[in-house]
């Protein structure tokens, strides 16, 4: 799926919406844990050498992390 029309801000709004819709996923998450996971996702995406697909490589991974799916 081509996300070229999406802005980076849209990905952060998606995460905020997930936190609103599923507060149980996000309760107890420290700022340190969130920013560390965010940095890891962005770093891995940058290391691929391709443009970052924020939805797939960041938003979906962070949501899956909080949902207990995958890494």
Per domain, the residue ranges of the chain are 30-71
Helix, strand or coil, per DSSP, at residue 41: helix
pLDDT digits (tens, 9 = 90+) for 37-49: 999 999 999 999 9
Number of Cβ within 10 Å of residue 52's Cβ equals 17
pTM of the model: 0.78
Helix, strand or coil, per DSSP, at residue 49: coil
- Say which residue, 59 or 71, is predicted with more confidence: 59
Sign of CA dihedral 37, 26, 57, 5: negative
Classify residue 28 by its DSSP letter.
T
| C-alpha to C-alpha distance for 45 and 26, rounded to whole angstroms | 23
Extract the tokens encoding 7: 């802005």
Going by pLDDT thresholds of 50, 70 and 90, the confidence category of residue 1 is: very low
């Amino acid at each position: 799926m081509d996300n070229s029309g999406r802005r980076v801000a849209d990905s952060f709004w998606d995460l905020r919406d997930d936190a609103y819709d599923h507060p149980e996923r996000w309760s107890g998450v420290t700022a340190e844990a969130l920013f560390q996971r965010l940095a890891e996702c962005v770093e891995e995406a940058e290391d691929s050498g391709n443009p970052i697909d924020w939805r797939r490589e960041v938003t979906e991974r962070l949501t899956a992390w909080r949902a207990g799916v995958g890494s």
